Structure 1
Amino acid sequence: MAVGKKFVFVLCVALCVIMGIMTLNSLNTQVILEKYRTTVRQFSMLPVQKQQENCSSVQKYNDNGTADFMRVMATLHRERQDTLARACADWDKRQVGNEPIGNALFSKKYKFTACPIFKSGSSTFLRSMLEMEGVNQTPMKFDGLMAEGRKRRIAALPTAEKKQEIWDQYLNVILVRSPFERFVSAYTDKLVPSGRGYTYVYKPLSKKLRDQFISIRANVSERTATEEYATFEDFVNHLIRNQDGGRDHHWRSYEAWCSACNHGYDVIMKMETLSDDVRYVAELLGISPEHRNWFFPSSKPATDIHKTERFFETVPKNLSLTLYEMSKRDFDMFGYPKPNWLW
């Protein structure tokens, strides 16, 4: 970069940061400054012209309430990171690590990674990141998408040094939801005839679980039911009897998939606040309007606590409590309380 252009860029970023600082009166200054530094770090990897264009976008944080929104979200995400840190200290007696994780997808264009969790936005992350990288998805079937995704995982990078470099320099993101809601979503999508994922893979699995657990259903009358698929109680019995190593990807734990205590994440998105989290990440990364159309375009909260409770009402409470205890690490790491109906 030419010295003159570099000076212009540094001055521009400095002015942007100063303008942000001037509006931080009543909120946690250190938290907001950390997010400004994150944004500046992203700018430093762009061409000079793009850096200067994005610098003006930081100034726009002070217009139309965006600055207030970003400060509130920065504070919220710091609280989520603090919650994770406390859980890691409790569970592992350690601080949150900074190791790269091979599962994570990465976008060179916007300099971020995402650890995709099945039944928690993994398909949308994959499709949006492929679009950001200019991959034409129109002719692709599912297997083709998966193959393209494997090329864009941290694990595909050639050296340990390159993997750590990406992890250190990019914004690392994870998206979670209440663990019990995720179980219900997986069941209704994969194991019942009305589900979109009730395919040649999951239809026989559902029948297998039904045959395995029908004889121990709590309601004796259901032990002679003629349906050819698993009930939710059958599914819960399966989860209880299978630790992560024996579970399908769609109901494997967050810890098994993304091991947050080992790897750490800069932004912890949640399905319960998806719309705000999507806007926050898009602003931090400077995602273009074109690519925002792919980045969780229907970003309303995809949660229904009443639906989750209704499904668990069909399960003996002792089974639900056992599943909660098995899943408690995921609940604790991401600040999800024990459901009221389990007390």
Structure 2
Amino acid sequence: MVGFDRLIFGQLLVLVVQGRYPWLEQVTRQEQLTRGCARYGGGARRIDYDQLDHVLVDHKHKMLYCYVPKVACTNWKRLLMVLTGTSSSSNLVDIPGSLAHADNSTLRLSQLDPPAVRHCLEHYTAFVMVRHPFERLLSAYRNKFENTYSQYFQLRYGRTIIRKYRHNATDSDLDTGTNVTFREFVWYVLEDGSANEHWAPVFDLCHPCSLNYSFIGRYETLVEDAAALLDMIGAPPIAFPFTRSSNTSHKLRTYFQQLSMDDIRGLYKKYEYDFRLFGYTLEDLLGFDLP
């Protein structure tokens, strides 16, 4: 009997990996979140409705999506435009990213009146997509400070970072804000906190201990989770874009070697709720987890 149980359990694990029973993985994620909120997140907290500006609404499919930058949110916003009829495109990647991020492309929960907000929170399927906190942080750095086209971030944040943390900065560095190092960026994040949504913790953006998320997706299983969610809400057949990996996870060790252990501990403390609530660890990066 024990052997039979192990066989059935093994078959179930295979099915989960294959994505044929994704709800089994959802049970694990929901339990992780519930335990984490009870132990670390202080349980449910009252939040003002104007704090829900990251929660997007699809009335047609009765769905709420809390978008998290650097977790495929551009493609999710494109998807919402199609689901809500804002766009008639049959190929999501044809929708310009600038249009997907425009304020009038999607409806925010914070734009509704209080009774409508309460109705949506009680009756709609709410979901959030998460990612390893350090991978997401590195992705934000590489996208906003290493890429030459992100002039806004270099001028808005880069010049401040260089002025504050680079003692031998040249006039050119101070004028353009380019060439911000990863360690300088981390120091800024540690000192100035959640200055921008691209590196603010999911805990601050989506209030996972206060809102009832019916579905928790992970960047690591993006394709499978997207298919499961679309099936769950009864969406029409639509292919969620599979974009080429930026290999951020493989570069994690290279970048984090620039940091001191104190830097890493500080970052872990800043994103601790995201680690604890969504089941991420530092095992792959450090070889051990922080207590």
Q: Which TM-score band (shorter chain)?
A: 0.7 to 0.9
1:146 counterpart letter in structure 2: A
**Structure 2: which 5+ residue stretches go unaligned?**
1-7, 10-14
**Structure 1: which 5+ residue stretches go unaligned?**
1-25, 28-64, 216-222
Map of 1:180 onto structure 2: 134
Q: Secondary structure at the match of 1:172?
A: strand
**1:231 aligns to 2:185 (yes or no):** no
Higher RCO (C-alpha 8 Å, min separation 6): 2
Q: Secondary structure at the match of 1:249?
A: coil
| Aligned with residue 276 of structure 1, among 218, 224, 227 | 224
**1:161 aligns to 2:115 (yes or no):** yes
**1:87 aligns to 2:36 (yes or no):** yes
1:179 counterpart letter in structure 2: P
**1:334 aligns to 2:290 (yes or no):** no
Map of 1:78 onto structure 2: 27
The structure richer in helix per residue is 1
Contact map agreement 1:112 1:172 (CA 8 A) in 2 = yes
Shift of 1:201: 4.1
| RMSD, aligned α-carbons | 3.0
CA distance in 2, matches of 1:108, 1:153: 11
Contact map agreement 2:86 2:105 (CA 8 A) in 1 = no
CA distance in 2, matches of 1:144, 1:73: 28
Contact map agreement 2:138 2:248 (CA 8 A) in 1 = no
CA distance in 1, matches of 2:53, 2:98: 21
Pairing of 1:117-136 with structure 2 (within 5 A): 117-136=68-87
TM-score normalized by the length of structure 2: 0.79
Map of 2:262 onto structure 1: 318
Shift of 1:241: 0.4
**1:242 aligns to 2:192 (yes or no):** yes
**1:191 aligns to 2:139 (yes or no):** no
Pairing of 1:143-162 with structure 2 (within 5 A): 145-149=101-105, 152-158=107-113, 160-162=114-116
Map of 1:105 onto structure 2: 56
Contact map agreement 1:273 1:301 (CA 8 A) in 2 = no
Map of 2:200 onto structure 1: 252
Compare 199-208 and 122-131 and name the one that shifted more: 199-208
Map of 1:8 onto structure 2: none
Distance 1:144 1:336, change over 3 A: closer
CA distance in 2, matches of 1:288, 1:302: 29
| Aligned with residue 267 of structure 1, among 215, 219, 230 | 215
Distance 1:144 1:282, change over 3 A: closer
Once the two structures are superposed, residues 221-263 of structure 1 have per-residue CA deviations (whole angstroms, 9 ceiling, x without a partner) of: xx5788642100000000110123xx11111111110010011
Pairing of 1:284-295 with structure 2 (within 5 A): 284-289=232-237, 292-293=238-239
Q: Secondary structure at the match of 1:251?
A: coil
- Identical residues among aligned pairs (%): 21
Map of 1:42 onto structure 2: none
CA distance in 1, matches of 2:185, 2:142: 11
Map of 1:308 onto structure 2: 252
Q: Point out the structure with max Rg over C-alpha.
A: 1
Contact map agreement 1:272 1:303 (CA 8 A) in 2 = no
Q: Secondary structure at the match of 1:261?
A: coil
Contact map agreement 1:111 1:170 (CA 8 A) in 2 = yes
Shift of 1:87: 0.8
CA distance in 1, matches of 2:166, 2:80: 42
Shift of 1:331: 0.6
Contact map agreement 1:119 1:250 (CA 8 A) in 2 = yes
Count, aligned residues: 262
1:336 counterpart letter in structure 2: Y
Distance 1:166 1:331, change over 3 A: same
Q: Secondary structure at the match of 2:103?
A: helix
Contact map agreement 1:97 1:264 (CA 8 A) in 2 = no
Distance 1:69 1:252, change over 3 A: closer
CA distance in 2, matches of 1:169, 1:80: 21
